[in-house]
Amino acid sequence: MTDRRSVQVVQIRRTPISEISRVSPSSQFRKFFEFDRAEAADRLRAMTTAAQDNARELEMIAAEKVFEETTSEEFLRVADEFTTSRGTSHY
């Protein structure tokens, strides 16, 4: 059996917003915005899921009681921050 895989090279041209707005009608510009907004929402959902997964892992590590009690308590505190801060920054 022969494994035939092909690679397709795609070149992406980044167009400045100023150029898009000059060339594209308003409705086309709105489509770009909607795409960017959807992309940002997808990334935020992925980050939220990752934070929740990390919180669960920290909770499980703390429950195993392999580390000193203060370390386990710190794991639980951080896990709680992952699940309760939801977009707020402490910095």
Residue 18 has a pLDDT of 62
Contact status, residue 9 vs residue 18, Cβ threshold 8 Å: no
**Please, what's the largest Cα pairwise distance for the chain?**
63
In this structure, what are the phi and psi dihedrals at residue 71, rounded to the nearest 5 degrees? -65, -45
The pair of structure tokens assigned to 47 is 């980050």
* pLDDT score, position 5: 58
Q: 22-71, pLDDT tens digit by residue?
A: 555 677 767 777 778 888 889 999 998 998 999 999 999 999 988 999 99
- pLDDT category at 91 given cuts 50, 70, 90 is very low
Q: How confident is the model at residue 68, as a pLDDT?
A: 93
Domain boundaries, the chain: 21-84
> For residues 41 and 60, what is the distance between their CA atoms, to the nearest angstrom?
29
At residue 38, the pLDDT reads 84
